[in-house]
Structure 1
Amino acid sequence: MEKIKSIIEAIAHDKNISYTSAKEAFKQAIINTAKRLEGKEAFFEIVEDEKNDKFDVYRVYKVTENEELLKEHPQKYISLEEAKEYGDVEEGDEVREEFHLEDYGTTGASHLYKELEYHLQRKVEDDLFESYKKKVGSIIVGVVTRVDEDENTFVEIGELKGILTLRNRIKGERFEKGDTIKALLKYVKIDKKYGMFLELTRTAPKFLEELLKKEVPEIEDGLIEIVSSARIPGERAKVALKTDRPNIDPVGAAVGQKGVRINAVSKELNGENIDCIEYSPIPEIYITRALAPAIVKGVKIVEDKESNEKKAVV
């Protein structure tokens, strides 16, 4: 098979997949087609001739003098006597003969087309899966296509479908068909019935953190670090921030002038009240800040010697 590189490049471009994925799909399609034509037990290998831009396809037989194997698996084995036509061989050696798919005319071409379409679709799905798997934990934007009777929200995200279940939705918010929504990509799943889909969430603390990253450049640039966060989705949240830059106020930067930054995040979270605090490596100070606006008279750290655990008594 000649002019392979240009054929594979065209396939990769058409299917929007990598050259490597397109080549693997093409090779697998050729082998599966050959097996359909010659037999399921037949073994084939493809040798890529880069210099001449072609694939050489070979049928491979194993040499044996075992009459039982020759009788039960004629597609896999060849007798020693027959194999000697290929050269000086011994029991257990392998012999190869060229296989030309073109010899099978339209039947071979039809089988190859079907196999190629199947394997290309698998590669498209594999590439998509790997692409979105890398995006787990980041914000995804999609358009609502429907909301079912159980209040599960279905979202169109590029070529894929996403689902925002009721438990992953902020209490009190409502979506309608056509709405554009933001959510955190929680999982990429493959279901036998529905294919590949994305599970989304708007209730995870990580969603709040990612929204802050997008809204606060100092967090995005790594000048301010989010140490931890906790939420009661749609009601209130606490975010602990720290920085090693003495000229940066982490809380002030996150809140923004006149609260513009934190208010933008709060609006996206259905009015969630977000309290930013500055992290301290001193537990007593950190706990006092975390419990604000409650008035804390004192914090005592108690260590359990048996379990080696530390507890805070307020």
Structure 2
Amino acid sequence: MENIALIESFSEFKDDKLIDRVTLMAILEDVFRNALKKKYGSDDNFDIIINPDKGDMEIWRNRVVVADGEVEDPNQEISLSEARKIEPDFEVGEDVSEEVKLIQLGRRAILALRQNLISKIHEHDNTNLYKQFKDIIGDIYTAEVHHVRPKAVILVDDDGNEIVLPKEKQIPSDFFRKGDNVRGIIENVELKGNKPQIIMSRTSEKFLEKLFEQEIPEVFDGLITVKKVVRIPGEKAKVAVDSYDDRIDPVGACVGMKGSRIHGIVRELGNENIDVINYTNNTQLYISRALSPAKISSIKIDEESKRAEVFLKLEEVSKAIGRGGHNIKLAGLLTGYELDVIREGSPAEEEDVELTEFSDEIEGWIIDEFAKIGLDTARSVLNHDVQDLVRRTDLEEETIMEVIRILREEFEE
């Protein structure tokens, strides 16, 4: 097989890969030099001439003429009689350049060349792909569902690149079919062997922040700054926003008239409940805003331990804690303080008993269910309607009725 014919054969890879001819030729030279090292022990005395415009190449071996019987290194030296077969007027000490045909490398070596070339091109593609996606980590990306697996959804973009959306990076309500377009952020690019694995996320706080940039012009233009985002994916999120222009209401601009601007973001996130609040350096005010919709009576802050005692009237406690404890948890994450809810009592108020005191009669997981909605004392449970408790907890009506019976016996005694 002639050199040029093999080059044309190799060049077919160029049509399938995002690789220019010059790069392909550089890879070719590297591959051929490796083959020469294996065949002759060294490639130092070989010239490889590649013409990227014509797509052809020549290999020349340079040797020194020595007297017959004095050849010590056949790769570096050639006997006088052998040299004169190439050119009859050669003399000892002169340099001989002889073209090497690929066929001289042997059929097995030529097959190895092809495999090595494929490997090098894949390596080049993988390096470029790794750099390409490494540069857009944290950006929103759209790809199409190619395959749905139990632990991940495999996506493919317009260039045929495979992107993985793991189960734990999906919003709990997400449901995908083959052919669906999916938006998320490129969260990471990992090297698995030599192949990059591109990881997408829809649960990251960064995804919500980028959606604000994409959907709200003032955020995109920098007139409004997203200071912090915290999420319980698919359930609830809190976003603190600020503006350095007093004429702009950052919350109003983000939410829009009757929620028109934020509606698209909520829908994208599986109807995740999003609270947008004004950021402030005033810690007390910031905590108060973070616990919205509850109305705070007063706050006692311990800067050293980063804890805050939040005093609320009884009817505001459940609002502050929120369904499943989500509101108070996110408020703590947003402000950076551990928040303790303190119920305000009056002198005339009857004595109350912590629910944990009934642990010998009421199972711990049931007590935890009440605590999730801010009810951790006997009277706080008794002050609620049974049907309301059924609606707000994961408890059966019979279980709640039994708890109420136990609590009432305590006060009747």
TM-score (norm: length of structure 1): 0.71
Q: Which residue of 1 aligns with 2:177?
A: 176
Q: What is the CA–CA distance in structure 2 between the aligned matches of 1:255 and 1:261, rounded to whole Å?
A: 5
Q: What is the CA–CA distance in structure 2 between the aligned matches of 1:227 and 1:46, rounded to whole Å?
A: 62
Return 5+ residue gaps in structure 1 as ranges. Answer: 3-8, 61-70, 79-84, 88-96
Q: Which residue of 1 aligns with 2:221?
A: 221
Q: Which residue of 1 aligns with 2:317?
A: none
Q: Which residue of 1 aligns with 2:308?
A: 312
Q: Residue 254 of structure 2 aligns to a residue in which SS?
A: helix
Q: What is the CA–CA distance in structure 1 between the aligned matches of 2:160 and 2:247, rounded to whole Å?
A: 45
Q: Aligned pair 1:156/2:156, yes or no?
A: yes
Residue 179 of structure 1 and its aligned partner are, at CA, apart by 1.4
**Where in structure 2 are the equivalents of 1:1-314 lying within 5 Å?**
15-17=17-19, 22=24, 24-39=26-41, 42=42, 44=44, 101-102=100-101, 107=106, 112-148=113-149, 150-157=150-157, 158-192=159-193, 195-304=195-304, 309-314=305-310
Residue 250 of structure 1 and its aligned partner are, at CA, apart by 1.4
Name the aligned partner's letter for residue 229 of structure 1.
V
Residue 212 of structure 1 and its aligned partner are, at CA, apart by 1.2
Q: Residue 299 of structure 1 aligns to a residue in which SS?
A: strand
Q: What is the CA–CA distance in structure 1 between the aligned matches of 2:21 and 2:300, rounded to whole Å?
A: 62
Pair member with larger Rg: 2
Distance 1:289 1:137, change over 3 A: same
- Give the conservation status (yes or no) of the 8 Å contact 2:29–2:48: no
More strand by share: 1
Summarize deviations over 1:177-208 as a string: whole Å, max 9, x none. 22111122222223349x43322221111111
TM-score (norm: length of structure 2): 0.56
- Give the conservation status (yes or no) of the 8 Å contact 1:57–1:98: no
Return 5+ residue gaps in structure 2 as ranges. Answer: 5-10, 63-71, 78-92, 311-413
Larger RCO (CA under 8 A, 6+ residues apart): 1
RMSD: 4.0
- Give the conservation status (yes or no) of the 8 Å contact 2:47–2:61: no
Summarize deviations over 1:241-266 as a string: whole Å, max 9, x none. 11212222211221123322200000
Of 154-163 and 132-141, deviating more is 154-163
Summarize deviations over 1:112-133 as a string: whole Å, max 9, x none. 5443332122101110111011
Summarize deviations over 1:266-301 as a string: whole Å, max 9, x none. 000011111111111222221111111111222333
> How many pairs does the alignment contain?
276
Q: What is the CA–CA distance in structure 2 between the aligned matches of 1:254 and 1:47, rounded to whole Å?
A: 66
Residue 77 of structure 1 and its aligned partner are, at CA, apart by 10
Residue 238 of structure 1 and its aligned partner are, at CA, apart by 0.4
Q: What is the CA–CA distance in structure 2 between the aligned matches of 1:204 and 1:34, rounded to whole Å?
A: 51
- Give the conservation status (yes or no) of the 8 Å contact 2:46–2:61: no
Summarize deviations over 1:199-226 as a string: whole Å, max 9, x none. 2221111111111111012212222211
Q: Residue 129 of structure 1 aligns to a residue in which SS?
A: helix
